[in-house]
């Protein structure tokens, strides 16, 4: 029963370390550095999206934001367009993206609250609409980021990558917010038992609204960073982040039933996902096998995690 002594949310980190070891053995110790660099950068973008999703998932059973990929894409298009029109003013582009994300979050919550829809359906319907806007704004073309943005996302001080470091700082802020701010405590209380939280004086609605707004904004920010890092906004750029954001949040130790969240664990799961992709690439596994292994691992990890006693 060794497993019971290792906290489940650290499984991602152990698995990631194992992958890194295997990669090192297979292609030489020298390859570990560059591999880790790439995994940290792409992992950071997944973490950004995942952190927003974590707040939403923690806000109660059934809460899930399916509009994440379309918000990411739409925000990327809007910010690239703004940066282009203003002649490369990055702050204007980022502000525009954050505004898109915040509006998206408000719309999602409004549909849940006023149309009394299940969050899955409400965010799904909005995601169709956001997708149409992205399609009309950018179409099939890839919108190029200004040079300064690409430079920033690839910026290094010595061997330290600034972009992943910034997002790590954000993760720490998110963890502290959950543990020590009034909103964070209220969010977890709402997630555990909405009625009890309401009777205890928590204003459940606004607390949840903020979670959706944050989720929209992190997805939007991820859109900007991803465009900068990969050289442009494209129509399908967000697709992989829907399933990935949910999976890394759950594997990172956040309860899908709500009321309990872990912002740091997301990093382990995100690194594990990215490194596993790299490892299977090295072993030249074909795409099908890669999906199968990834699926089996997700199921296995969820199945072996020791579960707390029923409340």
Partner 1 sequence: MLDRVRFRRALPVLLPSVALGVMLIAIFSIQPSAMSYFGFTLLFKMAPPLILAALAQMLIILQGEIDLSNGAFVGLVTCIAAIFLKDDVALAFVILLAVMAAYVALGWLIHFRQLPSIIVSLGASFIWLGTAILFLPAPGGEIPDWLRTATAWKPPLLPLPIWIALIIAIVAHLVLMRSSFGVMLRAAGGNPRAVQKAGWSIAWLRVVVYGAAAVLLVLAGLMLAGLITSGDPNVAPSYTLLGIGAVILGGGAFIGGQVSPVGTVIGALTLSLAGSFLSFLQVPATWQIGAQGVILFLVLAGRVLVDDRRRA
Evaluate whether 60 touches 258 at the Cβ level (below 8 Å).
yes
Contact flag: residue 110 with partner 1 (CB under 8 A): no
Judged by CB, which is closer to partner 1: 48, or 111?
A: 111
The least distance separating partner 1 from the CB of residue 73, rounded to whole angstroms, comes to: 13
Residues of span 228-257 touching partner 1 by CB under 8 A: 243, 246-247, 250, 256-257
Beta-bridged to residue 157, according to DSSP, are: 160
* E strand or H helix that includes residue 293: helix 287-304
- CB-nearer residue toward partner 1: 108 or 227: 108
- Interacting stretch for partner 1, rule CB under 8 A, among 11-19, 85-93, 175-183, 302-310? 302-310
Closest CA to 61 of 166, 174, 250, 194: 194
Please identify, among the stretches 37-45, 112-120, 154-162, 186-194, the one whose residues bind partner 1 according to the rule CB under 8 A: 112-120
Q: Does 115 bind partner 1 (CB under 8 A)?
A: yes
181 to each of 148, 176, 177, 261, how far by Cα in Å? Answer: 35, 7, 5, 14
Residue 100 contacts partner 1 per CB under 8 A: no
Using rule CB under 8 A, residue 280 touches partner 1 = no
**By CB under 8 A, which span of 40-48, 127-135, 152-160, 205-213 interacts with partner 1?**
127-135
Considering only 18, 27, 99, 135, the residue that binds partner 1 (CB under 8 A) is 135
Q: Does 309 bind partner 1 (CB under 8 A)?
A: no
Nearer to partner 1, 177 or 257 (CB): 257
| Interface region with partner 1, contact rule CB under 8 A, candidates 158-166, 167-175, 213-221, 298-306 | 298-306
Interacting residues of 268 by C-beta distance below 8 A, sequence separation 6+: 9, 10, 11, 12, 13, 14, 15, 16, 251, 252
Return the residue of 11, 126, 229, 241 that touches partner 1, per CB under 8 A: 126
Residue of 164, 214, 162, 205 lying closest to 186 (CA atoms): 205
Q: Which stretch binds partner 1 (CB under 8 A): 25-33, 124-132, 155-163, 179-187?
A: 124-132
Torsion on CA atoms 199, 203, 209, 212, rounded to nearest 10: -50
Here the tokens at position 109 are 């919550």
CA distance 99 to 168: 23
Q: Which residues, in sequence order, are CB contacts of 291 under 8 Å at separation 6+?
A: none
Half-sphere exposure of 36 (CA within 13 A, CB side): 17
Site string for partner 1, 59-78 (x = CB under 8 A): ---x-x-x------------
Whether the Cβ atoms of residue 43 and residue 298 lie closer than 8 Å to each other: no
Q: How far is the CB of 6 from partner 1 (least distance, A)?
A: 19
Residues in contact with partner 1 by CB under 8 A are: 62, 64, 66, 111, 114-118, 120-121, 124-133, 135-136, 139, 243, 246-247, 250, 256-257, 286-299, 302-303, 307
């Amino acid at each position: 029963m060794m497993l019971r002594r290792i906290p489940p949310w650290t499984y991602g980190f152990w698995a990631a370390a194992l992958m890194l070891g295997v990669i090192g053995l297979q292609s030489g110790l020298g390859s570990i550095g560059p591999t880790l660099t790439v995994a940290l950068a792409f992992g950071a973008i997944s973490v950004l999206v995942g952190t927003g999703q974590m707040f939403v998932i923690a806000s109660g059973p059934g809460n899930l934001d399916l509009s994440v990929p379309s918000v990411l894409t739409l925000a990327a298009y809007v910010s690239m367009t703004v940066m282009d029109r203003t002649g490369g003013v990055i702050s204007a582009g980022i502000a525009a993206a954050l505004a898109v994300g915040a509006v998206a979050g408000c719309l999602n919550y409004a549909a849940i609250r006023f149309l009394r829809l299940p969050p899955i359906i409400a965010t799904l319907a909005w995601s169709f609409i956001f997708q149409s806007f992205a399609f009309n704004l950018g179409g099939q073309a890839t919108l190029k980021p200004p040079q300064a943005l690409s430079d920033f996302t690839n910026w290094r001080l010595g061997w330290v990558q600034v972009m992943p470091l910034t997002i790590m700082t954000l993760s720490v802020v998110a963890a502290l917010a959950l543990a020590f701010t009034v909103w964070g405590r209220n969010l977890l209380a709402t997630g555990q038992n909405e009625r009890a939280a309401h009777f205890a004086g928590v204003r459940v609605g606004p607390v949840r609204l903020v979670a959706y707004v944050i989720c929209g904004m992190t997805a939007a920010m991820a859109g900007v960073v991803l465009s900068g890092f990969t050289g442009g906004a494209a129509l399908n750029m967000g697709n992989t982040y829907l399933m990935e954001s949910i999976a890394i949040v759950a594997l990172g130790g956040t309860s899908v039933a709500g009321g309990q969240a872990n912002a740091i664990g997301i990093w382990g799961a995100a690194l594990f996902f990215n490194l596993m992709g790299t490892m299977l690439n090295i072993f030249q596994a074909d795409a099908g096998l890669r999906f199968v292994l990834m699926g089996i691992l997700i199921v296995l990890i969820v199945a072996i995690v020791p579960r707390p006693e029923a409340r």
